[in-house]
Copies of this chain bind each other. A is one copy, B any other.
Amino acid sequence: MKNTFGQNISVTLFGESHGEAIGAVIDGLTPGIPVYEERISRELTRRRPSSSIDTPRRENDNFRILSGVFGGKTTGTPLAIIIPNENVKSSDYEYGSARPSHADYTAFCKYHGFEDFRGGGHFSGRITAALCAVGGILLPALEKLGIKIGTHILKCADIKDNEFCDFERDITALNSAPFPTISSECGKNMTKKIKEAAENSDSIGGITQTAVLGAFAGLGEPWFDSVEGLISHAVFSLGGIKGIEFGKGFGFADTKGSESNDEFKVENGKIVTKTNNNGGINGGITNGMPIVFNCAVKPTPSISRPQNTVDFIKKENTEITIHGRHDPAIIRRICPVIDSVCAIVISDLLASRYGNDVFLKGDKLCSSD
């Protein structure tokens, strides 16, 4: 379905970086969900470039809800939300020279030269603002069901943040942190490294870590719609992400079953696991423990150094120096986007299991798992 994701609660994305507006249509929403415009704004703010380590392109993100909300609540019919593009400088871009590790050349292969190439067009990170707007609607609805989502930078350059410790507290803190790390000391050091990279006309990557707290046991499918499969499918939409691992992930390669199996126990009348190496998922299905996953984020491909490349129209070698405006590291700004993408997946899983009216059911859900 290309630009649509989700079976029962689905999101359709549209827009280009330098077009009139970007936006999203959310379908399948339970009627009666409160829509908080200030929460949408907050999610957009978390993603927006703001500090000296971000691209100088600044936008107000004055979103407008065109449909699907009435009296401050969802109607149950498609909710269309658009964000006009404001601060557009198309002259920064010219067509034909493929920016290395960007989608210029692959877009040409796919769209035969008809693509809107300005600012990366439909491939631009700009489109993720629409995802954050969607998150601004879904995240508080999930919170009402006791489900919280948060993402921090686990690693950037050679600095490693703490892992999640007190999920509840950490997620709350992350959702209003200007720089999303659990240790603020680490955050400062990462910022320094990012600035250094920028001064060096370079860019850096990193690893994010996301936790979903409170997801009921029993969500997901053995084939093919495992929770890992759905989250990864959605998350890999984000151009900069090149890897994902759940729980111990690639660390499993170095362990034995006797070391990494998650033993069960009964705790306060509830079945839990002693460790959470499987990241809350067994056989593709949630077991009630926090869902935990890490994403590998590549360095922003846009760097202001000369790079060898080709002109794909002329089919000849050439050199490119990217001017324009860009981030030396997208890892800070990608965190709220992952939260939003994750909220889409979890909402859809809930709707598939509990039906269209899932967000109206509240406490009744918890007791049924």
How many chain A residues have a CB neighbour from B under 8 Å? 156
Interface contact A27-B2, CB-CB below 8 Å: yes
Interface contact A308-B274, CB-CB below 8 Å: yes
How many whole Å from A25's CB to the nearest CB in chain B? 5
Interface contact B32-A312, CB-CB below 8 Å: no
> Given B5, B71, B261, B312, which contacts A301 in the complex, CB threshold below 8 Å?
B261
Segment at the interface with B among A121-129, A140-148, A171-179, A180-188: A121-129
- Nearest B residue to A329 via CB reads B257
A residues 121-139 in Cβ contact with B at 8 Å: 121-123, 127
Interface contact A243-B234, CB-CB below 8 Å: no
CA distance A70 to B368 in the complex (A): 23
Interface contact B15-A257, CB-CB below 8 Å: no
- Nearest B residue to A278 via CB reads B101
Interface contact A296-B245, CB-CB below 8 Å: yes
Chain A window 1-34, contacts with chain B (Cβ cutoff 8 Å), 1 for yes, 0 for no? 1111101101011111001111101011001100
> Given B64, B74, B228, which contacts A236 in the complex, CB threshold below 8 Å?
B228
Q: Which of A79, A233, A273, A353 is most buried by chain B, counting CB atoms within 10 A of its CB?
A: A233
CA distance A266 to B245 in the complex (A): 35
Which residues on B sit within 8 Å (CB–CB) of A256?
A: 197, 202-204, 299
Interface contact B205-A253, CB-CB below 8 Å: yes
CA distance A357 to B261 in the complex (A): 30
Q: Which of A65, A100, A204, A296 is most buried by chain B, counting CB atoms within 10 A of its CB?
A: A100
CA distance A100 to B272 in the complex (A): 11
Kindly state whether residue A87 has any CB partner on chain B within 8 Å.
no
Given the contacts A28-B2, A222-B237, A258-B305, A288 and B109 also touching, CB distance less than 8 Å: yes
Segment at the interface with B among A36-44, A48-56, A112-120, A161-169: A112-120
Kindly state whether residue A260 has any CB partner on chain B within 8 Å.
yes
When all copies of this chain in the complex are counted, the total is 4
Which residues on B sit within 8 Å (CB–CB) of A115?
A: 31, 70, 75-77
- Nearest B residue to A341 via CB reads B224
Interface contact A70-B243, CB-CB below 8 Å: no
CA distance A226 to B103 in the complex (A): 12
Interface contact B218-A110, CB-CB below 8 Å: yes
CA distance A72 to B103 in the complex (A): 22
Interface contact A224-B245, CB-CB below 8 Å: no
CA distance A307 to B64 in the complex (A): 39
Which residues on B sit within 8 Å (CB–CB) of A273?
A: 100
- Nearest B residue to A74 via CB reads B114
Kindly state whether residue A149 has any CB partner on chain B within 8 Å.
no
A-B contact pairs, 29 of them (CB 8 A): A1-B1, A1-B7, A1-B27, A2-B10, A2-B78, A7-B7, A12-B78, A14-B66, A14-B68, A16-B67, A19-B66, A75-B122, A76-B111, A77-B122, A105-B217, A105-B264, A110-B219, A201-B258, A202-B257, A242-B247, A243-B250, A251-B296, A252-B296, A257-B302, A263-B307, A265-B308, A266-B315, A353-B355, A354-B356
